[in-house]
Amino acid sequence: MWGILATDPRIKSRLFGAFALVAGLGLAGCSDLDNALFGDETDNGGAPAASSDQFPPATAPGAAGTLPAAPAATAATGSAPVIAITPVTIEPGANTGTAVSATIAAMRSQLSTLEEHVASNAAHLTELRNQGADAARSYQEAKANITTRLQVGTTRGNPELVAQWNIAQSALDAIATNINNMNALGATIATDSSSAHFALDQIQSTYSVSGAVDEDHRQLRVLEDETNQTIVLIDRLLRSTSEDTQRQTAYAANERANLTTLAAAIKNGELYGSDLGSPAVASAGGPMSASTLAYAGTPLVVIRFDHPGVDYQQILYAALSQALQAKPNAGFSVVAVSPTRGSAAAVQLAQTSAKNHAQEVLRSMTDMGVPATRLAVASATDPSATSSEVRVFMR
């Protein structure tokens, strides 16, 4: 039993059918924008014009498809903060000559490799943050140049503004590439997290192996502490990567729409609408009581994490696809539900576990293309729950 329930009958009937991609979820490029906005026009007589205006490649410095190099001082000022992750120092241990000692040495080597991965992934995330900041800065500079010229008035289809628009589009494409790289990094970190938890299980199982001496168990306790610390670092790194990915995904999706509006403004030589740089911000819900949870309605999906390695992605995708086909502008609430049984410490551990699983489901939803602006997270307790659950509601 995989512990996953799709509670909507319409979803149950189509869980393993052909999945239609939902329009508007991906970070689609703007390659068709020229044809959409600058396609065939008609003259006064209604006949098609002999030619259509398009955004041509820029010939001035900073051509389309390339990002202008930022001055060194600017790049240094706008650099993203370094990820403050300090790998755990693994204490060496003496060989006691027992079979358990050889097992401990092998597990210590595996943990050292994980620590190297933590340092490497933290450095990679910092690099991706800096690349994203550079691309965002290039985009905002080009966008500011366009809006400034439009604000004071300019000619219709000004080629200088067209060149700036192409630079802005290239910058957004660079941000989209950066998001894909962050998704790949998140998958790598998630693999390390699984390896670290598996290593912890191995260490705890080794306590019961016969033939060990007291020194072996002392080394096991040290290794167990080091592994727990490593898991904390990996989870922190995974959370930072997930938050960055969600934030950049929402930013890029919002600015794609703004860039389309700017294209129409350039064609007509006048600025449209109000400030385009104020994207909607997703709200995160606070704790929910059991009574509040009952009034939230029927969840689209209930994912029960009652054993390791719950495979829920396919059912989750089917539920989201079905919901968005019925309501394209739908938002979703991801609720971490934990049981209330056991001691206070057990309840606290269950709540932490449920929240971690909710973050995992949230990452899966953004990976499937759901914009972060449509997602909200909350937590709840349910006396009837027997294990950590994540319930996804449509709102």
Q: What is the mean pLDDT of the chain?
A: 75
Q: Please tell me the pTM assigned to this model.
A: 0.52
Residue 128 has pLDDT above 80, yes or no: yes
pLDDT on residue 163: 93
Spell out the CATH class of 1-20+280-395.
Answer: alpha beta
Contacts of 385 (CB under 8 A, 6+ apart): 337, 338, 339, 340
Task: Say what the alpha-carbon torsion angle 7, 11, 17, 20 is, to the nearest 10 degrees.
Answer: -130
Domain boundaries, the chain: 1-20+280-395, 65-279
Q: 56-70, 111-125, 145-159, 222-236: which range is least confident on average?
A: 56-70
CB 111 within 8 A of CB 223: yes
Please determine, for residue 184, whether its predicted confidence score (pLDDT) is greater than 80: yes
Cβ-proximal residues to 340 (8 Å cutoff; 6+ apart), any chain: 347, 381, 382, 383, 385
148-167 pLDDT, tens digit each? 998 888 888 899 999 999 99
The side-by-side arrangement of strands in the sheet containing 375-381 is: 4-6, 301-304, 389-394, 332-338, 375-381, 287-288
